[in-house]
Amino acid sequence: MCPKLPLLLVFFLYYAITSLGSDPDPVQDFCIPSTGIAACKNSSAATVEDFVFSGIKFQGKFSETGLAATSVNVNIFPGLNTLGMSFVRADFEVGGINMPHFHPRATEIAFVLEGKIYSGFVDTENRIFAKVIEKGEVMVFPKGLLHFQMNVGDMPATILGSFDSQNPGLVRIPNAVFGSGIEEKLLEKAFGLNSKEIAKLRKRFAPH
């Protein structure tokens, strides 16, 4: 066997994994999705409006957890297509939370625009990295790791988040566990809950 073959194999596998794990590099300046047969709108037909999104000028509708999050991904802002990035605005009422969740396809950087946010993530060894971050501070959440936020200040707070994927994905832990139809007996054994408690959680986190 060629002595360099194992090294070449490792290099190939690393390249394949990293390539598959991120958005592909664009092969043109931009690609505004077309409603016709072509994958992209003719570049000569693009206008500045294709690259501007005004949907986060104001806060969105608050949920029962005190969070109003407005995502800016390729599904609602086509100008992001092939550019490998997206954005979110998250507004918190006093005491509001962003429940534990993760993004399977992206690392996130969160910038505190206003307020004080208890913010953190948990790694694959169950170590927690968390602290209160304030206006002007930034925290990064590595790709695929569970993270969370809570407004611990005495006034509303706002975070702006940036992702290194045009469609980072979002998995909310309570919804994924109790709102997806996992077998009840498994949930009973995993969490030490009875059927009545599980039914209550399923009702709360079921898809609407």
Q: Would you list which residues are annotated within the binding site for oxalate? A: 98, 103, 108
Cβ neighbour number for residue 73 with a 10 Å cutoff: 19
Cα separation of 54 and 38, whole Å? 27
H/E stretch holding 176 reads: helix 173-178
Residue with tokens 């505190």: 112
**Residue numbers belonging to the annotated binding site:** 98, 101, 103, 108, 147
Positive or negative: CA dihedral 181, 182, 187, 191: negative
Cα separation of 207 and 15, whole Å? 38
**Residue numbers belonging to the annotated binding site for Mn(2+):** 101, 103, 108, 147
Q: Report how far Cα 23 is from the mean position of its chain's Cα atoms.
A: 14
Cα separation of 16 and 178, whole Å? 35
Furthest C-alpha separation in the chain: 67
